[in-house]
């Protein structure tokens, strides 16, 4: 022990803190790397602010107020009573961006949940079992990939439009179109994830620990979900994070085209529907929701970028 101390006197000294700190867990390592990624921190902070904006905001302005139409107050420019102005039927744009934000963010998260479940199941089955299962699943994946997502979304939106009734959840009414949009965005975006998961499974299943698991009689499901899947979480988390941004964008595009979530339920996307006609007369109609979409997508992209670097097991930076 004495030798070791004398030997370290000549080399650059580590600080006391670094010598004594216990080995870092994977989570701590990831957090350390993530913390150094300034843009990712910026993205995370902005995202938290946006979430607070749309959820805390609802304590101050009721949803009834957001959907309250007053045709005497059509297209009012931003003022002290209506900071973001009013829309073409006299609803307050500020209140609608708050409630629209809730729906847009919820759509992003739930659509990604569906996307992730579908992508992981397809990718895992294809990668693990191989053979004809792989061939069939990957041909289908490829086929869906070859149809541009927006076209597929429009066709499916048209197909399911108006088939799901309005539902009441937690004392609030949701237009059935919200469910439709969530499901179809989830069903049209799982393909990339499926490919990534498949690639992970293909390489991981050749490892010795899988052989060991199989030798001890672990079932296929056990191997897939308890042994391989946890090891391929990093790319799944990154893809899912970026997927939230894509889902919010997809909702915005399709609602912008008037095929998405139907009023009176507000989303950032459908607030922009028809903004074309008010390009000149009421720029506040499209500026605020557009800006919020941009901020959300931007901060999620930063966050995903930071996570990608932080979760990379090959990254040596601590």
Partner 1 sequence: MIRYIIRRILQAIPLLFIISIVLFALMQNMGDPIAAMAGRNITRSSDRERLKRQLGLDQPIYVQYIYWLVGNDWTKTDIDGDGIRETQGTRKGILRGDFGTSLVNRGKPVLKVIGERLPNTLILMIVAETFIILGSLIIGVYSALRQYSVLDNLMTGLSFVCYSMPIFFIALISMYIFGVLFKRWGLPYLPTVGMFDPNIGKTPGQIALHLVLPVLSMSLISFAAYSRYIRSTMLEVMNQDYIRTAKAKGLPRREIVFIHALKNASLPIVTVVGLDLPLLLGGALVTERIFAWPGMGRLFLDYVSRSDVPVVMGILMMIAAAVIVFQIITDIVYAWLDPRIRYGT
Q: What are phi and psi of 169, to 5 degrees?
A: -135, 130
280 binds partner 1 (CB under 8 A): yes
229 scored as a contact of partner 1 (CB under 8 A): no
For position 139 contacting partner 1 by CB under 8 A, the verdict is: yes
Q: Does residue 277 touch partner 1 according to CB under 8 A? A: no
Interface characters, 299-318, with partner 1 (x: CB under 8 A): --xx----------------
Q: What residues numbered 14-43 form the site for partner 1, per CB under 8 A?
A: 39
Shortest spacing between CB 181 and partner 1, in angstroms: 16
CA distance linking residue 54 with residue 98, whole number of Å: 4
Under the binding rule (CB under 8 A), the answer on residue 98 touching partner 1 is no
User: Is residue 253 part of the contact set for partner 1 (CB under 8 A)?
Assistant: yes
Backbone phi and psi for residue 208, each to the nearest 5 degrees, phi listed first:
-65, -35
Considering the complex, what minimum distance in angstroms separates the CB of residue 173 from partner 1?
26
In this structure, are residues 57 and 66 in contact, taking their beta carbons and an 8 Å threshold? Answer: no
142 versus 173: smaller Cβ distance to partner 1: 142
Residue with Cβ nearer partner 1 (32 or 158) = 158
Work out whether 262 is an interface residue with partner 1 (CB under 8 A): no
Whichever of 58 and 309 has its CB closer to partner 1, that residue is: 309
Question: Is the torsion defined by CA of 87, 93, 97, 100 positive or negative?
Answer: negative
Told to check if 155 binds partner 1 by CB under 8 A, we report yes
Pick one of 236, 286, 306, 307: the residue that binds partner 1 (CB under 8 A): 286
Q: Which stretch binds partner 1 (CB under 8 A): 69-77, 154-162, 169-177, 223-231?
A: 154-162
Minimum CB–partner distance for residue 146 and partner 1 (Å): 5
The residues that touch partner 1, with contacts defined as CB under 8 A, are 39, 139-140, 142-144, 146-148, 150-152, 154-156, 158-159, 245, 249, 252-253, 256-257, 272, 275-276, 279-280, 283, 286-287, 290-291, 293-294, 297-298, 301-302
């Amino acid at each position: 022990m004495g030798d070791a101390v004398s030997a370290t006197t000549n080399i650059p000294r580590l600080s006391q803190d670094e010598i004594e700190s216990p080995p870092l867990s994977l989570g701590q390592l990831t957090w350390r790397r993530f913390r150094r990624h300034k843009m990712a921190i910026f993205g995370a902070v902005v995202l938290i602010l946006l979430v607070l904006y749309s959820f805390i905001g609802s304590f101050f302005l009721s949803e009834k107020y957001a959907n309250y139409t007053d045709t005497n107050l059509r297209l009012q420019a931003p003022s002290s009573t209506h900071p973001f102005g009013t829309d073409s039927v006299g609803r307050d744009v500020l209140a609608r961006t708050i409630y629209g934000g809730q729906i847009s963010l919820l759509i992003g998260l739930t659509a990604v949940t569906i996307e992730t479940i579908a992508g992981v199941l397809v990718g895992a089955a294809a990668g693990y079992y191989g053979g004809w299962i792989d061939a069939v699943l990957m041909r289908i994946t490829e086929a869906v990939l070859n149809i541009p997502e927006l076209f597929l979304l429009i066709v499916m939106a048209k197909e399911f439009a108006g088939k799901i009734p309005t539902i009441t959840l937690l004392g609030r009414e949701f237009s059935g179109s919200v469910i439709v949009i969530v499901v179809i965005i989830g069903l049209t975006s799982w393909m990339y994830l499926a490919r990534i998961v498949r690639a992970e499974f293909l390489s991981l299943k050749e490892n010795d620990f899988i052989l060991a698991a199989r030798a001890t009689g672990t079932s296929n499901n056990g191997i897939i979900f308890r042994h391989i899947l946890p090891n391929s979480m990093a790319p799944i988390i990154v893809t899912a994070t970026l997927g939230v941004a894509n889902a919010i964008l997809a909702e915005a595009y399709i609602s912008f085209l008037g095929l998405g979530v139907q009023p009176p339920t507000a989303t950032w996307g459908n607030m922009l529907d028809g903004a074309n006609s008010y390009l000149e007369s009421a720029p506040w109609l499209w500026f605020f929701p557009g800006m919020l979409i941009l901020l959300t997508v931007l901060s999620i992209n930063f966050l995903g970028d930071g996570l990608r670097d932080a979760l990379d097991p090959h990254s040596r930076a601590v």
